[in-house]
Structure 1
Amino acid sequence: MAAFEPEQPQANADFNALRQHLAGALFEPGEPGYAALSAPWNAAIATSPAAVVAVASAKDVAEAVKFAAAAGMPVAVQATGHGIASDMDGALLIQTGALDECTIHPEGWATTGGGVLWSTVLAAAAPSGLAGLCGSAPGVSVAGYTTGGGIGPLVRSHGAASDRVRAFEVVTGDGQIRRATAETEPELFWGLRGGKGSLGIVTSVEFDLLLQPEIYAGALYFGADDDAEVARAWSQWCPTLPAAATTSLALLRLPPLPGIPEPLAGKFTAAVRFVYTGGTDDGARALAPLRAVATPLIDAVATMPFAQIGMVHSDPEESMPATEYSTLLGGFAGPAVDALMEAAGPGTASRQLMVELRQLGGAFAREPEVPSVLSHRGVGYSLYTVGVAPPPELGPLAENARGVHGAVGQWSTGASLPNFAAGAGQAGFAACYSPEALERLTALANRYDPDHLFRLGQVPMRG
C-alpha cells in the first residue's frame, strides 16, 4: 500500500484567527510557554511545531482541529509527551494538560479529563479504597496510556486498562466532538481502545475502578553473581503463578547518581518485580521460590497502599535522551533465557539501561466482553529495552539494542504493543495489530480523520 501523501501546509498560517476562538492559549515559536509546552519526555527529540495550543476545553480542541484541516497542517497531541517520537515539524500541537477534571464516583468509577495523570487518580481514589488500573509509571496521562491499551503491573490480574473504559469524549479528525460508548458509537469505541492516536484526540475518559486499597508488591534486587540463576528460576516460576500475580524481570545497569540506592548504583543487577492482588500471606507464599534462589541485595516487597504502586518499577520521571525498542515473545524458557543472558547479562556488550521482560497471560489473554482493537492477547511475554545516552551516542546505543533483541529473535512473534512502539514508525505501528484489526482500524481512520491530520502520531499507513 502506498503511503498517504498529505497536502502541503499553507505558509504563514494566521494563528490570530484561531486565537479568537479559543478559551485557552496559543503560543508560536519564540513566545513564552512554547518551549515548555512542546517538550517531549524523550530529550533526544527536538520538536518544532508551528504553534502550540494549550486547550481549555473540548471545544478548543475542535476549533484547533478544524483550523489545522483548513490550513493543511498535521496535528499532534500531548499531555506529558511520553508518546511523542516525531519532531512535529510544521504541526499544530494540541497540549491537553489543562483538561484536568478528575472525579471519583464512590460506586466505583472515575471521570478524567484528557490531561489527567494516573498519579492524580490514585491519590483521589485512595480514600475510598479504590484504585485505577494504571501502568508502571503513574506520571503518564490516563488518556494516552489507555488508548494504547494500558498494559501495567496488574495486567494478569485485571487485564488491560482499555478493557475498563465506559466512555470516551473525543474530537475526531473531522473536528466533531463525539461521545463514544459501546452503544452510541460502537465502531469508534472499538478503535479507541488500543488504537492510540489514530482516530482522534481524547478529551475525557470514563472508566471503572478497582476495589483494591492495598497490594503485596515491590521488587527483589539481586547482584550480578546471581543473575543467570535468577533469570532461569524466574522463567520456570512464571508458568506456576496464579492470575493474582503479575511479574517482570529487569536486567539493570543503573548509573551512580543521587537517589539510586548504593547497592544498585553503578552496578549490574537483576530485579524481579512482583504485584499480588490477593492477601499478604498468599503473596508471600507465591514469591517464596524466588526469594529462595539467592540472597537479594534489597528485598523491597511488602504490603503497601495501592497508591504507591509506582514504587514497584521505580521508573524515572525526569526527561532524558533515550532509545526504546520492544517486541513480544511467544515464550521465555531454557535456550531463550541463555540467549538473552549471553547478550545482556553482566560482562556482555549490552549498554542498555534496562532490559525488561514482562509476563503476560492471565486476564489479559481473555477477550473482553466488549471487543477492542487491542491485539496479540495470546502472547506470553513482552521484551522492552531502554538505553540512555547523550544524543551523539544514541545511534550506537540503538544498534546495541537491536543486537539484544536479535539474540532472542527466534522466539519473537514480530509483534509489539502500542504503548511500547512510539518510535517504531508506521511498520512498527502495524505490528501492534492483527491484519484483520489493522484493516478495520485503517478504515475507521479514513472515516474519522479524512484529511489525515494525525499522520505524525502512531497511525496506520493509508493509500
Structure 2
Amino acid sequence: MNERQPVYEHSTGTGVPESLLPADAVDALAARVDGSVFTPSDEGYASETVGFNLRGGHRPALVVAAASAGDVQAAVSFAVAHGMALGVMTTGHQPFPARDNFLLLTTRAMRTVAIDAERYVAKVGAGAVWSDVVGPAQAVGLAPVNGSAPDVGVVGFTLGGGHSPFLGRRHGWAVDRVVSIEVVTADGVLRRVDADSDPDLFWALRGGRSNFGVVTELEIELFPLSSFYGGGIYFGAEHLEKVLRTFPEVVRDAPDDFTCSVAVMNMPPVPEIPEPFRGRTLAHVRVVGLGTDEETEKQIAPFRAIGTGVVDTIGRHPYVACGSVHADPEHPFPYEERSTLLSELPARAVDRLADIARQGVGGPVTILEVRHFGGALNRRPENAAPVAAREAAFGVWGVTVGPPEAVAAGYAELDRTMESMSPWAIGRVSTNFAARENSAEDIFGERDLERLRILKRHYDPANVFRVNNHNIVPR
C-alpha cells in the first residue's frame, strides 16, 4: 500500500475496526514517540479512546498517546503523510459525532503545570485539568479563570471561550486571559505564538481550538484570590418555580464580584447518588461571592426568603474547594447536552422555564441550568477572541443522562426547551456547551467565521484537523 494513499478500515466482525495502515510505518512511529501508539487490535486501545462522555463512539484507525510536544509533531506529520484526519482528546467531556478511520491524538499524559508567581501566570501542559492548576496556584495565593468542574481539561475549556462561574464576571472569558500558546500546526512545526509574534494564529486558536493545530501548552494569567463566600442551596421541588422567578431579581444589577446560576436537577434513584438527593427533584442555587460575606448574603437574601434548603453549603470556603459549588459529577457517564444563549431573561421567558421545570419533575432531563453572564463577560477587550457568547446576558443549558432510550427522550425535551427560548436567543451557542450536531455556523458570528475560514486556508488548507471539533472548513 502506498503510504500516501488515504487510510481505510474495515470491521473484524466484533465491532472493532481493523487498521490497514502499513505495519512498518506504525512501528516506525511507535519507535519515534515517547508515549504510546495503539492500533485497534492492541491492548489499551479501548481505554485510550474512551472519554468522560461514554456516548463518544469514536473508532480511530490509530491512537497516539502523546507524552511530549515532539510526540505531537510526530503524530501530525504521520497523519499528513498518510492522508489521515486528526482529532485531539484530553478528557473527552464534550460530545462530538462519532468518527472512524482517523488518527486520535490523546494528550492526557502531558499534565505539566508551572506557576510563575512573580508574573502571575501559569504554564499549563495540554493534558492538565483544572485541579492540576488550582492547587499549585493557591499555594502562592493565586487563582486561574477556571470552570466549575475540576476534572475538565484546561486547554479545551479555555480555547472554547471558558465561562468561569468564579472569576468570569470580574475578569472576563478565560480565553481573553491567554498570554501565549504553544502549538503544532499542520506543517509539523512547533510554534509559540502570542499577540505580537503571530496575531492571526493567536486570535484563531482562541476560539477555533483544535481547528488550527494541536496545542501543547498554554500560558494563562492568574489573579490574587485565596477564598470565596458561596456554595449551594438545594431547595425541594415544591420551591423550584419560586427559585426560578427569584433568580432574575437576585442577579439584576449584581456587582461583578457576584455570580449566580440556578439548576433544576432530576436525581435518579440509584445508589451512586447520596442521600438526601437520591430520587428527588431539586432546585440548586449556585453562588460565588468575591466580596465580603455580608455583601454576598445581602445579594442572596431573596433566596433565603423562600425557605430552608434541603442542603445549604453557603459559607466562606478556600478557593481550592471551588469545585464543590456546582458539584459536577466526577465519574464518566453517557449523556447529551443542548444549550442556547439569551440577550435577556424577561418575565415571559422565566415563566416558560418555570412551566417546563414543573412539568419535567421526575422526567428525562437530568439538569436544566440558567447562568447569568454580564460584568466583564459582556465587555469586549482589545483584540478580543472570537467568542459569540460575550454578546449574551444569560445562557440556558441542559443535559440528559442514562441509557439510549432515556437520553433520546431527554434530548427531545431539551429540543423543545431551547426552542421555547428562541424569542430571546441571540442565534448562537457557546463552544464549550455546543451539542453534538452543532456546527461552526452555530457558534461564531459571520464576520468572525469568515476570518477563521480564511486563516484555516492558510494554516490547515487540507483540513487535517477536522475531528473532535466544530470544524471550520477552509475558505
* Structures share fold, TM-score greater than 0.5: yes
* Matched position secondary structure for 2:376: helix
Q: Is 1:409 aligned with 2:422?
A: yes
Kindly report the root-mean-square deviation, in angstroms, between the aligned alpha carbons of the 2 structures. Answer: 1.7
Corresponding residue for 2:192?
A: 179
Secondary structure at the counterpart of residue 94 of structure 2: coil
In 2, Cα distance between the equivalents of 1:223 and 1:393?
A: 23
Alpha-carbon distance in structure 2 between the residues aligned to 1:402 and 1:168: 36
TM-score normalised by L of structure 1: 0.94
Match of 2:50 among 28, 33, 39: 39
1:307 to 320, 327, 333: 320
Other-structure match for 1:342: 355
Contact residue 40 and residue 84 of structure 1 kept, 8 A: no
Question: Does residue 139 of structure 1 match 2:151?
Answer: yes
Size of the aligned set, in residue pairs, is 455
Aligned counterpart, 2:310 = 297
Distance 1:323 1:358 in 2: 19
Query: Aligned pair 1:9/2:7, yes or no?
Result: yes
Q: Summarize deviations over 1:75-101 as a string: whole Å, max 9, x none.
A: 011111113513231110111111121
TM-score normalised by structure 2 residue count: 0.92
Cα separation, 1, equivalents of 2:95 and 2:389: 23
Q: CA deviation at 1:8?
A: 4.3
CA 1:73–1:422 in structure 2 vs 1: closer, same or farther (change >3 Å)? farther
Alignment deviations for residues 146-175 of structure 1 (CA, whole Å, 9 cap, x no partner) = 110111212212211111111000111222
My pick for the range that moved more, 177-186 or 124-133, is 124-133
| Aligned counterpart in structure 2 of residue 286 of structure 1, from 280, 283, 299 | 299
The answer on whether the counterparts of 1:76 and 1:88 sit within 8 Å (CA) in structure 2 is no
What percent of counterpart residues are identical?
37
* Partner residue, 2:103: 92
- The answer to whether the Cα contact below 8 Å between 2:338 and 2:435 also exists between their aligned partners in 1 is no
Higher RCO, Cα 8 Å, sep 6+: 1
CA distance in 1, matches of 2:95, 2:395: 21
8 A Cα contact 2:115 2:137, kept in partner: yes
Distance 2:322 2:83 in 1: 43
1:317 Cα offset (Å): 1.8
* Alpha-carbon distance, 1:318 to partner: 1.2
Instruction: Please list, as runs of the form range in 1=range in 2, the aligned pairs for 1:39-118 lying within 5 A after superposition.
Output: 39-107=50-118, 108-118=120-130
Q: CA deviation at 1:346?
A: 5.0
8 Å contact kept, 1:26–1:51: yes
Given that 1:83 and 1:144 are in contact with CA atoms closer than 8 Å, whether structure 2 keeps it comes out as no
Equivalences for residues 255-270 of structure 1 within 5 A = 255-258=268-271, 260-270=273-283
1:10/1:447 CA distance change after superposition, 3 Å: farther
1:129 Cα offset (Å): 1.1
The 1-side partners of 2:407 and 2:435 are apart by 16
8 Å Cα contact 1:219-1:273 kept in structure 2: yes
SS at match of 1:128: coil
| Other-structure match for 2:445 | 434
CA deviations on 1:345-378 (whole Å, 9 max, x unpaired) are 2556852100001001101111123321122312
Deviation at 1:258, TM superposition (A): 3.9
Task: Name the CA shift for 1:346/1:223 in 2 (closer, same or farther; >3 Å).
Answer: farther
Decide whether the 8 Å contact of 1:10 with 1:73 is kept in 2: no
- Are the aligned partners of 2:108 and 2:126 in contact in 1 as well (CA < 8 Å)? yes
The offset of 1:462, in angstroms, is 4.1
Name the CA distance, whole Å, in 2 between partners of 1:105 and 1:296: 41
Q: Which moved more, 1:178-187 or 1:283-292?
A: 283-292
Partner secondary structure for residue 345 of structure 1: helix
Change in Cα spacing, 1:214 to 1:170, as seen in structure 2 (3 Å) is same
User: Which of the residues 385, 388, 392 maps onto 1:372?
Assistant: 385
**Aligned 8 A contact 1:65 1:175 in 2:** yes
What corresponds to 1:4 in structure 2? Answer: none
- 1:360 maps to 373
- In the alignment, which residue of structure 1 is the partner of 2:413? 400
Which range moved further: 103-112 or 289-298?
Answer: 289-298
For residues 13 and 149 of structure 1, the distance between their equivalents in structure 2, rounded to whole angstroms, comes to 36
- Structure 2 distance, partners of 1:282, 1:63, is 53
Unaligned runs of 5+ in 1: 1-6
Contact 2:461 2:474 in 1 (8 A): no
